[in-house]
């Protein structure tokens, strides 16, 4: 019971810190569905100090710490005969005879002691079995040795039948999710190993998929975990009814499901149909809830034969599906940034931030109409002690998958604002742009953290520009809109980066507190030779101006492109033609070498010779 039912429900936090609402509700369901059904008299959970933190009948919370529980907390299993009073028989009578058992609870990764399980089993069935067995044995001895063995066999069969029922229940609980009755992760992995081995042996294909519900946290937060559980039960039933009998549907945890599909020639089509089954509204208490899901999958043996590796690759495909807003995605090695070397960088990056190994480079953003340098974009680099200077695309995609992204963004904000502030009069007219990821926007308190940083460093909010990509915006548009609104209300400008290469809804664009559009470099760099891209750039400029937004063209590398942007009415230019990203000391030299009147003079030249701006 401890290993297969109780411990999997616990997060690994010591029980002395109390149970979470999820742990409490799961324990109550377990007691209602499994414990009471098996005749157990009482179930309690105690912390490692012997104090009761959960009791199915509400008893024991005011009792002194039990010495048996302390022995169990030290790793020793304890059991003894006792008597248990029912709620209606608490008048000092001996109550019901019971076996009192204490056992240490292990949870977390790696498993470690978090508390003690206290269980009371009725003694009467045990006593009856013992008495019946002794009576039978006595009669059998009178009859003779041969009949004695026959009677013992009968007793064994009777006891074994009950044990089999108990073992079957425990086995089911060990391999199934208590909420949905689907296979759990343990059974899913077991079946995945068998399915892949069979596919390799018979030269067939088996698809392994991971399904994750989009924005399910909003349902739990707004409607409560009880209604969220009902949604999961409904969707689990739909999946189970849709797949074939031999296929496996599992709940891997939270709002994540796993699928094993045997002999599917076109897994993408099958999974697309399965996703369509999930797309129909779920009605809870008369309220229709729209459910969407993202699916990442692999096909064995083509994508590999090791189950752990296949699941990791399915997870990569799932991440691509979520970030690119695609329903179903198969693993592609080109999307996989999780090789062993890169994974090692994650732990090194945490150390590198604390050790001061990160540096910022700044790329100027210049007004096209008069050549004034109005802002710089902060771009992070990592001066790795062994690998040398690492570009952001080497480590930022890894950081975005962990809570390290929050720490990295906080460092960039602090460093960029400090260095721009410390430019003094030379940079008093400059603002600084900082890139923000989807993970940052998912934090409800992100705007508060930004404002707190500005206040702490005494930098006006108007000198900060927060740049977000279309992909980050669409990961969770509702939460992102809320965070951006809070930033804008504080006086911070918001820039929508890489515009044109994503799928931003114009409806969102018209209501989001965005101040600036940055046209993606893929359209700007070849607008001279690509008429389609030239038309797109001009359309984005017109769109931005009609919405009252400034428009930036990035990726400007030639005079011809700069002149074309100018003729299109674009407001700001950024690119290698003007200046490459540079550390702050070189930025100071660059700014001093180009006084304002010189920039204006160079910009007003009909030939627009921008070479005067590249003296770095």
Q: What one-character-per-residue DSSP string does 420-446 give?
A: HHTTGGGGTT-EEEEE--HHHHT-TTH
Q: How far apart are the C-alpha atoms of 510 and 548, rounded to whole Å?
A: 10
When mean pLDDT is compared across 276-290, 446-460, 580-594, the lowest value belongs to 276-290
pLDDT score at 501: 65
What domains does the chain contain, in order, with CATH numbers?
Answer: 2-175 (3.30.450.20), 185-335 (3.30.70.270), 361-381+399-613 (3.20.20.450)
Q: What is the mean pLDDT of residues 18-40?
A: 77
* Among 583, 614, 582, residue whose Cα is nearest residue 598: 614
pLDDT score at 163: 67
When mean pLDDT is compared across 85-94, 219-228, 350-359, the lowest value belongs to 85-94
Over residues 484-498, the pLDDT tens digits come to 899 999 999 999 888
- Band of pLDDT at residue 517, cut at 50, 70 and 90: very high
Q: How far apart are the C-alpha atoms of 155 and 179, rounded to whole Å?
A: 37
- CA 462 to chain centroid, in Å, comes to 33
Q: Is 18 helix (H, G, I), strand (E, B) or coil?
A: coil
For residue 325, the tally of other CB atoms under 10 A from its CB is 15
Between CA 472 and CA 482, with CA 478 as vertex, the angle to 5 degrees is: 90
554, 574 contact by CB (below 8 A): yes
- Band of pLDDT at residue 582, cut at 50, 70 and 90: very high
547, 510 contact by CB (below 8 A): yes
559-564: Cβ within 8 A, 24+ apart? 559/607, 559/608, 559/609, 559/610, 560/528, 561/524, 561/525, 561/527, 561/528, 562/368, 562/608, 562/610, 563/608, 564/527, 564/528, 564/534, 564/537
E-strand stretches of 306-438 = 328-330, 358-367, 373-384, 388-390, 431-435
**Residue 402 has what DSSP assignment?**
S
Between CA 224 and CA 172, with CA 212 as vertex, the angle to 5 degrees is: 80
E-strand stretches of 214-292 = 248-253, 256-262, 282-284, 287-289
Q: Which residue has better confidence, 469 or 271?
A: 271
- Band of pLDDT at residue 605, cut at 50, 70 and 90: very low
φ, ψ for residue 56 (rounded to 5)?
A: -65, -25
Residue 396 has pLDDT above 50, yes or no: yes
CB-facing half-sphere around the CA of 478: CA atoms within 13 A: 6
107, 10 contact by CB (below 8 A): yes
Residue 248 has pLDDT above 50, yes or no: yes
For residue 593, the tally of other CB atoms under 10 A from its CB is 12
Torsion of CA 30, 34, 40, 45, to 10 degrees: -20
Q: How far apart are the C-alpha atoms of 254 and 212, rounded to whole Å?
A: 9
Structure tokens at 419: 């260095």
Over residues 521-561, the pLDDT tens digits come to 989 999 999 999 999 999 999 999 999 999 999 999 999 99
Q: How far apart are the C-alpha atoms of 133 and 154, rounded to whole Å?
A: 9
């Amino acid at each position: 019971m401890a290993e297969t039912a109780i411990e999997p429900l616990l997060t690994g936090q010591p029980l002395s810190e109390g149970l979470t609402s999820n742990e409490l509700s799961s324990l109550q369901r377990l007691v209602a569905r499994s414990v009471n059904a098996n005749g157990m008299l009482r179930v309690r959970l105690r912390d490692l100090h012997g104090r009761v933190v959960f009791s199915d009948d509400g008893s024991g919370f005011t009792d002194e710490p039990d010495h048996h529980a302390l022995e169990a907390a030290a790793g020793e299993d304890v059991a003894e005969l006792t008597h248990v009073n029912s709620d209606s028989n608490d008048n000092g009578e001996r109550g019901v005879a019971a076996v009192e058992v204490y056992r240490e609870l292990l949870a977390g990764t790696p498993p470690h002691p978090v508390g003690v399980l206290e269980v009371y089993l009725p003694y009467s069935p045990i006593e009856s079995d013992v008495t019946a067995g002794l009576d039978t044995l006595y009669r059998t001895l009178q009859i003779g040795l041969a009949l004695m063995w026959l009677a013992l066999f009968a007793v064994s069969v009777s006891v074994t039948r009950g044990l089999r029922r108990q073992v079957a229940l425990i086995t089911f609980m060990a391999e199934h999710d208590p909420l949905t009755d689907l296979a759990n992760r343990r059974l899913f992995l077991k079946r995945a190993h068998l399915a892949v081995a069979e596919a390799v042996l018979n030269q067939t294909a088996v698809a392994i998929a991971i399904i994750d519900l989009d924005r399910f946290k909003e349902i739990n937060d707004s409607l409560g975990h009880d209604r969220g559980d009902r949604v999961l039960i409904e969707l689990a039933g739909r999946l189970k009814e849709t797949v074939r009998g031999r296929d496996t549907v599992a709940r891997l945890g939270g709002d994540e499901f796993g699928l094993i599909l045997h002999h599917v020639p076109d897994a993408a089509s099958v999974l697309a149909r399965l996703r369509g089954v999930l797309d129909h509204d779920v009605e809870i208490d008369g309220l229709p809830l729209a459910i969407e899901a993202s699916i990442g999958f692999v096909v064995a043996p083509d994508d590999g034969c090791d189950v752990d590796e296949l699941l990791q690759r399915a997870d990569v495909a799932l991440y691509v599906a979520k970030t690119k807003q695609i329903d179903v995605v198969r693993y592609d090695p080109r999307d996989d940034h999780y090789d062993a070397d890169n994974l090692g960088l994650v732990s090194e990056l945490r150390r590198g931030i604390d050790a001061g190994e990160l540096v910022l480079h700044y790329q100027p953003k210049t007004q096209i109409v008069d050549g004034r340098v109005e802002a710089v974009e902060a771009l992070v680099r990592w001066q790795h002690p062994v690998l040398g200077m690492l570009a952001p695309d080497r480590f930022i995609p890894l950081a975005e998958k962990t809570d390290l992204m929050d720490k990295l963004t906080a460092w960039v904000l602090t460093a960029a604002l400090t260095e721009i502030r410390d430019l003094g009069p030379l940079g008093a007219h400059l603002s600084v742009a900082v890139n923000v990821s989807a993970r940052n926007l998912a934090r409800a308190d992100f705007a508060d953290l930004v404002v707190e940083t500005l206040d702490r460093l005494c930098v006006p909010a108007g000198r900060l520009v927060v740049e977000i990509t279309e992909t980050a915006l669409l990961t969770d548009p509702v939460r992102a809109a809320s965070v951006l609104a809070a930033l804008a209300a504080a006086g911070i400008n918001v820039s929508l980066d890489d515009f044109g290469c994503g799928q931003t809804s114009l409806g969102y664009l018209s209501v989001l507190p965005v101040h600036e559009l940055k046209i993606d470099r893929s359209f700007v760099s070849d607008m001279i030779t690509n008429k389609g891209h030239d038309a797109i750039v001009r359309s984005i400029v017109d769109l931005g101006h009609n919405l009252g937004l400034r428009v930036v063209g990035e990726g400007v590398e030639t005079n011809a492109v700069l002149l074309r942007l100018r003729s299109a009415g674009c407001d700001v230019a950024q690119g290698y033609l003007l200046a490459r990203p540079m550390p702050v000391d070189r930025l100071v030299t660059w700014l001093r070498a180009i006084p304002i009147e010189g920039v204006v003079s160079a910009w007003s030249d009909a030939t627009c010779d921008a070479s005067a701006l590249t003296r770095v």
